[in-house]
Amino acid sequence: MLNTDYKDDVLTVFLSGELDHNRSAGIRAAIDSQLSALRPKRLELDFSRVSFMDSSGIGLIMGRYRAVGLVGGELKVVNVPEELDRIIQLSGVTTLGVMK
């Protein structure tokens, strides 16, 4: 079960644990389902409880950037732990303006 909050047209998804190939597919599907149903103005991916992330986590961010854009919203990546920030910086995701 994905922990989320929807308030004031902002869908916040609280990610936790490891974002690897095995977990990312289910998380993507759950987020995309909520995006279609709610059509929020902003999607926030909260990384505060993520302990590990590989390239699947970057793919999760990039795919949700595209998906929320299709419903007219924007993406913000928030509360990124210091150890994961470098991975995100090196990926180039920050050039999309998604970091908060």
Q: Which domains does the chain have, with CATH numbers?
A: 3-96 (3.30.750.24)
User: Is pLDDT above 80 for 100?
Assistant: no
User: Is pLDDT above 90 for 98?
Assistant: no
CB neighbours of residue 77 within 10 Å: 23
Containing 4, the helix (H) or strand (E) segment is strand 3-7
Question: What is the share, in percent, of the chain residues with pLDDT greater than 90?
Answer: 82
Say what the pLDDT of residue 56 is: 94
pLDDT digits (tens, 9 = 90+) for 52-72: 999 999 999 999 999 999 999
Q: Are strands 42-53 and 10-19 parallel, antiparallel or unpaired?
A: parallel
